[in-house]
Amino acid sequence: MENNTTTIRAIDAIEEAQKIAFAPFVFQATIALRKLGIFDLIFSKRKSGGINIFEIAENLNISTYGIGVLLEIAESSNIVSKTNDNYYKLTKVGYFLNYNETVNVNINFTQEVCYKGLYHLTESIVNGKPEGLKELGNWNTIYEGLSKLPEEIKKSWFEFDHHYSDDVFDDALKIVFRNNPKQIFDIGGNTGKFALSASKYSDSVKVKIVDLPGQLNVALANTEKAGFKDRVTGHEIDWLKPNPSVPNGADLVWMSQFLDCFSEEEILTILKTCVKGLNDDGELLIMETFTDRQKFDNAKFILEATSLYFTVLANGNSKMYPAEVFLKLIDQAGLVLKEDIAVGEYHTILVCKKK
């Protein structure tokens, strides 16, 4: 059967092409409509037949010119609709652009963290370096600078990161604690959210967070504040420096949304290093959102966009991977896959043991 790309009419194809040509215009108009409170105001008038440009202008103290140009492109982009007597309402697309939590997190991440940097994507592909990162700061990878990012950018980065892992931690903890590990290493523990959840889940488990110094300071301050100073400790590491090492004695090594921050070669080094720190009967658990494990095209699309964030801003050489790449690397690192478990709507946990 022919697919859409061959059956599409030329007139529709050129319309799609034009939408892409001006996609940043529609995106920035959406940002303005959100920030200026125009979406909120239109939505609040939905039960009284909508609102016209003059009423919006008076309510928000913005020129009718400004509101006009934003709403014209929003109407053509199916974000708002207009009645015959020029009253605006949000369409379903407009509603989700303003009120859906996942869309909200993605829009803020795109605007605050990625937008300016994305301009440098072509150079990043050619040079294999995150050439857009200079728009945020003077670092080799974004992870060096995370704790120093300006507040609004930092907030958007962390909300994006947490949004895609927080919800599955409850399900994940049941798998993590099946064999009652006494010592967990949380590799890439970030702000300490998993360490906190694990410490609450078990009243005796010890967690060692392994991360860059900037994140480790934040994570340990958070876990100390929550009363877990005795059970949550840290180990500073930069996996990109030569000969990284972790302490011995882990019953369980936990890596959540972490290995996607590295190239395949780097992942192999990390896995091999962690195998050395793992007790002989211990488990290494990898939780990821794999591109080939998504039920919805939309989820795959979000992951593909996230890959470009890695290319242009994060490090220049990593991506969201299909599971098959990890299965190969697990084997090469001296591990054997014991279980392959779907958690939540998007995540997979690979349970590995030493060979």
Ligand X SMILES: C[S@@+](CC[C@H](N)C(=O)[O-])C[C@H]1O[C@@H](n2cnc3c(N)ncnc32)[C@H](O)[C@@H]1O
Question: Which parts of 102-141 interact with ligand X (CB under 6 A)?
Answer: none
Q: How far is the CB of 161 from ligand X (least distance, A)?
A: 5
Contact pick of 108, 111, 165, 311 for ligand X (by CB under 6 A):
165
Contact pick of 109, 143, 309, 346 for ligand X (by CB under 6 A):
143
Contacting residues for 296 by C-beta, under 8 A, at least 6 apart: none
User: In the complex with ligand X, which residue's Cβ is closer, 97 or 285?
Assistant: 285
- Say how many residues touch ligand X, by CB under 6 A: 16
By CB under 6 A, residue 346 contacts ligand X: no
Contact pick of 118, 261, 303, 333 for ligand X (by CB under 6 A):
261
Q: How far is the CB of 317 from ligand X (least distance, A)?
A: 12
Amino acid at 239: W
User: In the complex with ligand X, which residue's Cβ is closer, 107 or 212?
Assistant: 212
By CB under 6 A, residue 238 contacts ligand X: yes
Q: What CA–CA distance (Å, rounded) separates 352 from 20?
A: 43
By CB under 6 A, residue 316 contacts ligand X: no
Contact pick of 188, 234, 277, 282 for ligand X (by CB under 6 A):
188
Q: How far is the CB of 229 from ligand X (least distance, A)?
A: 20
Q: How far is the CB of 334 from ligand X (least distance, A)?
A: 21
Among 107, 133, 117, 125, smallest CA distance to 34 is for: 107
User: Are the beta carbons of 355 and 335 closer than 8 angstroms?
Assistant: yes
Amino acid at 61: N
User: In the complex with ligand X, which residue's Cβ is closer, 42 or 275?
Assistant: 275
User: In the complex with ligand X, which residue's Cβ is closer, 16 or 224?
Assistant: 224
Question: Which parts of 13-72 interact with ligand X (CB under 6 A)?
Answer: none
Contact pick of 239, 290, 326, 346 for ligand X (by CB under 6 A):
239
User: In the complex with ligand X, which residue's Cβ is closer, 88 or 157?
Assistant: 157
By CB under 6 A, residue 190 contacts ligand X: yes
Which ranges in the chain belong to alpha helices (H)? 4-7, 10-21, 23-35, 38-44, 53-60, 64-76, 92-99, 101-108, 115-118, 121-127, 142-145, 151-176, 193-201, 213-225, 264-277, 297-309, 323-332
Q: What CA–CA distance (Å, rounded) separates 228 from 196?
A: 8
The two structure tokens encoding residue 71: 């709403």
- β-pairing, 347-354 vs 278-288, is antiparallel
Contact pick of 258, 309, 326, 346 for ligand X (by CB under 6 A):
258
* Angle value at C-alpha 226, between 193 and 234, nearest 5 degrees: 60
Backbone phi and psi for residue 137, each to the nearest 5 degrees, phi listed first: 175, 175
Contact pick of 112, 211, 251, 283 for ligand X (by CB under 6 A):
211
By CB under 6 A, residue 257 contacts ligand X: yes
Q: What CA–CA distance (Å, rounded) separates 194 from 197?
A: 5
Residue written as tokens 């140009």? 69
User: Are the beta carbons of 143 and 309 closer than 8 angstroms?
Assistant: no
Q: Which residues bind ligand X (CB under 6 A)?
A: 143, 161, 165, 188, 190, 211-212, 215, 237-240, 256-258, 261
